[in-house]
Amino acid sequence: MEANPLLRDSVECQRLVMEAMKYHLLPERRPLLQSPRTRPRKATVGVLFAVGGMDATKGATSMEQYCVRRDTWRQVGVLSGRRLQFGVAVIDQRLYVVGGRDGLKTLNTVECYNPRSNTWSVMPPMATHRHGLGVAVLEGPMYAVGGHDGWSYLSTVERWDPQARQWSFVASMATPRSTVGVAVLNSKLYAVGGKNGSFVSEVS
């Protein structure tokens, strides 16, 4: 079998291959073979966003993105009046911000952020106004779970179909709850804790 031309013709390439072979085949000598090439690299897959939250004015509307390579944060967007107790999820590399409050009103509106074009889109609203809801993605669709509509605690659950671009109601939880933790495990959606006038701890 003919040698790779790059390896055959490049002395620098040969040197790097030999360096890598020594490092991996002689583990007892690794402390003596350290270089910038042997240091673990930071992950470059995905990005981290911080969306809204509490600040000195009791309701930030900014969104920041963390760059792993530069170890820095930068502002990349602003929410349209949405301030508190909203849900966030990612579908197809787009970030959805669901429900919440604008300071006074409970919202049913949904915004979608595309990090590639740095643009926001308004999506169809939920049927129910919700703040303190839990949001998670299960095998494609997104679920908006429980919350508070400004008058009462909710047990209802709505599902967003990204293909049909519409919301529909699915089975309600046994217990109404707001500020609920929602997660996916083994193809099931779990709602954990929250409150319904008094704190609840059971899992639905």
Q: Is a pLDDT exceeding 60 seen at residue 44?
A: no
**Highest-confidence range of 23-37, 99-113, 129-143, by mean pLDDT?**
129-143
Q: In terms of pLDDT, which residue wins out, 123 or 26?
A: 123
Looking at residues 184-198, what average pLDDT do you find? 89
Which secondary structure element, helix H or strand E, spans residue 9, and what is its range?
helix 5-9
pLDDT tens sequence across 124-155:
999 999 999 999 999 999 999 999 998 999 99
Contacts for 80 with CB less than 8 Å, ≥ 6 apart: 61, 111, 120
Q: Is a pLDDT exceeding 90 seen at residue 22?
A: no
Q: Distance between CA 65 and CA 69 in Å, rounded? A: 12
* Maximum Cα–Cα distance across the chain: 76
**What is the model's pTM?**
0.72
Contact between 129 and 144 under an 8 Å Cβ cutoff? The reply is no
Q: Is a pLDDT exceeding 70 seen at residue 1?
A: no
Query: Where residue 112 falls among pLDDT bands split at 50, 70, 90?
Result: very high
